[in-house]
Chain A
Amino acid sequence: MDQAEIILMIVRIWGVIGAVVALGFLTFGIDQVDEDAQDAYVFRPLIVPGILLIWPIVIWRWFVLATGRDHWPNRYHTRRRNHHWVGMLMPIAIIVILATGWSVRQTWPAHIAPVQLSAPQEPTQ
């Protein structure tokens, strides 16, 4: 299995799990956690692509809301507290990624000259 096949397999597995989560969440889960969504169906297919991408967060929020563990102000407190650090980490991460990219990238092998290993045979037609 080459690198492309491994990446494709991971994407497929992620997508299949996301599809299962989307099916469960949009058929009965969303009615549990959002009363405004009850009896509303047309919009549900529209959020399938989003669920395919972030299904772990959907499962987590579905669990928290369905089990009554949610204390809604906490969501915003946590985010506000983390803003400072995330704001600092992002530019640092960008610089680290760029520096890593520059340091590990290959240089054009201009110093390696072509070498003939064996003589040619007769021309053919």
Chain B
Amino acid sequence: MSDKNTPFFVGYLPSPGPLRWFLMTTIGLFIATFVSAGLFIGATQDAPMPSGFRFDYGPQTVTGVIELTPYPILRVTQGNELIQEGKTLMLAGQGKNGIDQRVMEADGQLRSITGIVLQRGTIDMLQVDGRARGVVDVEGTAPPMETVPLGRWSLAGEICDGKCLYGAMRPGTGLAHRACAALCLIGDVPPVFVSSQPIEGSDFMLITGPDGTVLPRAAYDFIGQFVSLEGDLERRGDVMILRIDPQTMELTAG
């Protein structure tokens, strides 16, 4: 057996003298190391803008024209105090789901939409109520809505899911959010491209595949990473739509 004078730690007895200082020093170093590591790692991350679900506004009901890009957007024709007429809203469902199935027959038609606003800075979207009142038919003829082509562009930035980016998650961007964004996009939440620099005052645009198709599977490998790509840009109300050319996607250097 070992030397009888070797100090031995027993949890429910007072610590032997020589071990006491060792334990105190080790505990102090442990706390200092983990606090320092936490602060250091946290300091290397980008701080997200204040954002989130605006349950404090309560459910918002607006009427407008549904357009399938193929991801649904609402061109508001009859707003309220918070959401003005003329605004364009991206629409998402509950959880990691879009509302494609609920509005697939409504392209170009009037609908009354009820939901909770998601807001990050000056951008926002609507999480549509899961009950029947979420999407309601409206009588009347939908007014014509203008689509303004902006030409073909080369851009750099990041592919995200619109719901998390607009406030459901913080930060909702970056590699750490990649898996969540992929699941949201698989669930048909509208995908959004965050541009490295603004175009016509906007850093964010809804992205689709070429010729009005959904985001191609090839783009899913680039979610949450910084990419350069080319695509055709258009403006619908205050939302820009980027129809990407998947052949041009590549990771940016550095």
Contact = CB atoms under 8 A, between A and B. Distances in A.
Interface of A: 2-4, 98, 102, 105-125
B150 interface: yes
A101 to B, nearest CB: 9
A64 to B, nearest CB: 31
Contact of A123 (B44, B148, B199): B148
Interface residues of B, number: 33
Contact of A2 (B155, B195, B221, B226): B221
Contact of B154 (A102, A108, A117, A120): A117
Contact of B196 (A3, A98, A112, A122): A112
**Majority DSSP secondary structure for residues of A touching B:** loop
Contacts, number: 77
B151 interface: yes
A110 B196 contact: yes
> What are the 9 tightest A-B residue pairs by CB atom distance, in nearest-first order?
A112-B156, A120-B149, A120-B151, A109-B156, A118-B152, A125-B144, A117-B152, A109-B252, A115-B154
Contacts of B144: 125
B153 interface: yes
B41 interface: yes
Contacts of A4: 182, 220-221
B223 to A, nearest CB: 9
A125 B146 contact: yes
Nearest to B144: A125
B175 interface: yes
B44 A124 contact: no
A113 B251 CA distance: 15
Contact of A108 (B146, B182, B199, B226): B226
B181 to A, nearest CB: 12
Q: Which of B152, B175, B230 has the most C-beta atoms of chain A within 10 angstroms of its own C-beta?
A: B152
A93 B43 CA distance: 21
B254 A107 contact: yes
